[in-house]
Amino acid sequence: MNVRSIRMTALTALIAGLAWSGAAQAYWGLDTTPTATVNDSAATAQNPYTVKMSGFYVSNTLNASNKLSGNWTAGTLTQYAGNGQGMSTGTDSGSPYHALDNNGNTEGVLLSFSASTVLTSIGLGYTATTGPAEYGCVSNGAVVGTVLGSAACSKGTKTSDVTVDVSVFRWTGTSAPTLAGTAAGTMGGWELVGNYGDFILDTTNPYNLVNSAGKTSSWWLITAYNSGFTQSAGTENRGTLTDGDDYFKLYAVAGNKCTGTVNANGVCGGTTTNVPEPATLALASVALIGVAGLRRRQPKANA
């Protein structure tokens, strides 16, 4: 092997090492004991990045303004192995009612991260509906449309599992929120980031995409959709949204740690997933040393 080839091999190793050090987007598998503190996919003892989860629900009763009239109440999350988190509170028992749903009550999961996080996607391990069956038409891993019942997707796409409607909120305060007792119709201190009507069963990161604006918070609330939530001009709305017929189990979430300046709209100016691990740094160092050594060994040009 000539000097040029050896140098290129060393440079390739360096680039691979640096790419590896950047790591893939962090994700948290939530198919675990509901009371557990969950590490992200690359957490280490020196660099922990964790999330805790808790369940909440509110009655679907509306006031004269067609907003939810009740307050959020703490609910009991239940792990359904292989599918993720559901809830069995009050009359919510049996299939599909032991999922997170918007039938009778609207249910959700509060995620408390150890650092401000730009949530980017949400994984579901189970989806169902009691309304007309609606399926996602998927192309290259993304939902590009929906069809009802036995209708066929357009050419070049394939039919996925039943789609469900999901709402995503972020806490805008600096100290931890107390969701229990909060009026669901006004959601003081919470911003409705988006309503998503095309979520499918998805257990591969990246999951169902959310938060295209890149907003950040240490506290995120993921619920079944309800039109009784207060809407805002900046809310991201996607797909067809219906009340009372959506059931899902929360399998995982993905996102990035916010390390940049947060603007007035809550958008993070820079993110990272984790720092390079020692083994990765060692690989990059070896590659750098190799390139430097080859440089010294290269014969001088003739005068």
Residues 226 and 84 in one domain: yes
Residues 6 or more apart in contact with residue 299 via CB below 8 angstroms: none
Domain residue limits at 133: 25-275
Residues 243 and 286 in one domain: no
Q: How confident is the model at residue 301 (pLDDT cuts 50, 70, 90)?
A: very low
DSSP, res 227: T
Q: How confident is the model at residue 153 (pLDDT cuts 50, 70, 90)?
A: confident
Q: Is the pLDDT of residue 84 over 90?
A: yes
Label the pairing between strands 84-87 and 37-39. Answer: unpaired
Residue 228 three-state SS:
coil
Residues 249 and 215 in one domain: yes
Mean pLDDT of 192-210: 92
Residues 264 and 183 in one domain: yes
Residues 90 and 147 in one domain: yes
Q: How confident is the model at residue 287 (pLDDT cuts 50, 70, 90)?
A: very low
Give Cα 217 to chain centroid, integer Å: 13
Q: Whole-prediction pTM value? A: 0.78
Residues 253 and 198 in one domain: yes
Q: Is the pLDDT of residue 3 over 70?
A: no
pLDDT digits 0-9 by tens, 239-266: 889 899 999 999 999 999 999 999 999 9
Q: First CA to last CA across the chain, in angstroms? A: 26
Give the count of domains, the chain.
2
Residues 262 and 297 in one domain: no
Residues 16 and 36 in one domain: no
Residues 51 and 10 in one domain: no
Residues 197 and 296 in one domain: no
Residues 34 and 15 in one domain: no
Answer yes or no: are the C-beta atoms of 193 and 169 closer than 8 Å. Answer: yes
Residues 227 and 292 in one domain: no
Q: Distance (Å, rounded) from C-alpha 100 to C-alpha 136? A: 20
Label the pairing between strands 190-199 and 236-238. Answer: parallel
Given this model, what pLDDT does residue 273 score? 57
